[in-house]
């Protein structure tokens, strides 16, 4: 039952698109999947058709130990995936946790009571290395790092890998790199090819073979509250996320 944090502190690299569609792809393969929305933007929550502003209970209350994970869990109306949903209130959890004991352990403790119900748990992280991200990295067996192949991509990676090392040496020695995933890839773009080659040179087998192409259908699906499999199963984006689910299923964590 791997727990995977999808993380990169760089904004807009495809974390949420990857978390939502990988969750849906794993569910298509018959796996029991939980998606944890660890981002106050709540994009993964709405991307799976859940109205984030109508939630009476969400991840905030779980992290503050007011309710159990089970109580906050909802089923997506559009895909066979369970969700621990979030909205802007999560910012207050981030602030409130700062002064509390074992603040980096809250998600890990909460997931312990429900993890046996799932084959995969995917955590969508915010674009920062804050306490919410630290909770995700403390809970996870592996980190999946979406990388957009553009000029500053490698710069941000060093900071993330440093944080992962830190977490490994302190609270979570088992934390592995589940893989670097090239996203929004345009194979006709010379810069994208160059950055991709540089990634392969630096990180070798940590770079996943699956590549997510730039595909407008992936960008359109969230406004319908649907994963790519409900929205357009024949798209290149759907094929890419299914291949990613198969590749990760073959890897060990
Ligand atoms: N493969 C793709 N092809 C085309 N558009 C994409 C693709 N992946 C993501 N996008 C679009 O790019 C934008 C950023 O993607 P996404 O929200 O997944 O990134 P993120 O890393 O989660 O962002 P944030 O850091 O704000 O949480 C969105 O508008 C999304 O629809
Ligand atoms: Mg996001």
Find the residues whose C-beta lies inside 6 A of ligand 1.
Answer: 11-17, 39, 41, 43, 127, 183-184, 212, 214-215, 218-219, 237
- pLDDT at position 27 over 80: yes
HEC assignment per residue over the chain: CCEEEECCCCCCCCHHHHHHHHHHHHHHCCCCEEEEECCCCCHHHHHCCCCHHHCCCCHHHHHCCCCCHHHHCEECCCCCCEEECCCCCHHHHHHHHCCCCCHHHHHHHHHHCCHHHCCEEEEECCCCCCHHHHHHHHHCCEEEEEEECCCCHHHHHHHHHHHHHHHHHHCCCCCEEEEEEEEEECCCCHHHHHHHHHHHHHHHHHEEEEEEECCHHHHHHHHHCCCHHHHCCCCHHHHHHHHHHHHHHHCCC
Instruction: Kindly report, residue by residue over 54-67, the tens digit of the pLDDT.
Output: 999 999 999 999 99
pLDDT tens sequence across 167-206: 999 999 999 999 999 999 999 999 999 999 999 999 999 9
pLDDT band at 154 (very low <50, low <70, confident <90, very high): confident
Nearest atom within ligand 1 for CA of residue 17: 18
Rounded distance from Cα 227 to ligand 2 centre (Å): 14
| CA 17–ligand 1 middle distance (angstroms) | 6
Q: Which atom of ligand 1 is nearest to the CA of 10?
A: 25
Q: Which ligand is nearest to the CA of 7?
A: 1
Q: How far is the CA of 43 from the centre of ligand 2 (A)?
A: 6
| Ligand 1 centre distance from Cα of residue 229 (Å) | 17
Q: Which of 7, 17, 148, 216 to mutate to test the pocket of ligand 1 (most atoms within 8 A of CB)?
A: 17
Q: How far apart are the CA of 183 and the centre of ligand 1, in A?
A: 9
Confidence bin at 101 (pLDDT 50/70/90): confident
pTM for the complete prediction? 0.97
Query: Which residue is closest in CA terms to ligand 1's atom 10?
Result: 219
Ligand with minimal distance to 222 CA:
1
Bridge partner residues of 120 (DSSP): 33
How much distance in Å is there from the Cα of 102 to the middle of ligand 1? 32
What are 219-245's pLDDT values in tens digits?
A: 999 999 999 999 999 999 999 999 999
- CA dihedral for 52, 53, 57, 58, sign (positive or negative): positive
- The CATH code belonging to domain 3-250 is 3.40.50.300
pLDDT in tens, 211-220: 999 999 999 9
Instruction: Evaluate if residue 252 carries a pLDDT over 90.
Output: no
Q: Is the pLDDT of residue 127 over 80?
A: yes
pLDDT at 155: 82
The residue ranges of every structural domain in the chain are 3-250
Q: Looking at the CA of 37, name the nearest ligand.
A: 2
For residues 37-72, one letter each, b for 16 or more C-beta atoms within 10 angstroms of the residue's C-beta and e for the rest, the string is bbbbbbbbbbbbbbebeebebbbbbbbeeeeebeeb
């Amino acid at each position: 039952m791997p727990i995977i944090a999808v993380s990169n502190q760089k904004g807009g690299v495809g974390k949420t698109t990857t978390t939502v569609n990988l969750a849906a792809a794993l569910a298509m393969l018959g796996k029991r999947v939980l998606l944890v929305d660890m981002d106050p933007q709540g994009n993964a929550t709405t991307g799976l058709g859940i109205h984030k502003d109508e939630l009476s209970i969400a991840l905030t209350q779980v992290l503050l130990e007011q309710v159990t994970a089970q109580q906050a869990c909802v089923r997506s109306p559009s895909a066979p995936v369970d969700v621990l949903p979030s909205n802007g209130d999560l910012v207050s959890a981030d602030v409130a946790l700062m002064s509390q004991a074992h603040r980096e352990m809250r998600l890990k403790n909460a997931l312990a009571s429900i993890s046996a119900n799932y084959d995969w748990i995917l955590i969508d992280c915010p674009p920062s290395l804050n306490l919410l991200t630290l909770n995700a990295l403390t809970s996870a067996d592996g980190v999946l790092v979406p990388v957009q192949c553009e000029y500053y991509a490698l710069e941000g990676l060093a900071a993330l890998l440093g944080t992962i090392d830190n977490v490994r040496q302190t609270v979570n020695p088992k934390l592995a790199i589940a893989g670097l995933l090239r996203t929004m890839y345009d194979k006709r773009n010379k810069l994208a090819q160059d950055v991709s080659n540089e990634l392969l040179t630096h990180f070798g087998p940590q770079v996943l073979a699956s590549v997510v192409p730039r595909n407008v259908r992936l960008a359109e699906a969230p406004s319908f509250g649907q994963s790519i499999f409900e929205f357009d199963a024949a798209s290149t984006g759907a094929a890419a996320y299914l291949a990613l689910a198969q590749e990760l299923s073959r890897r060990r964590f």
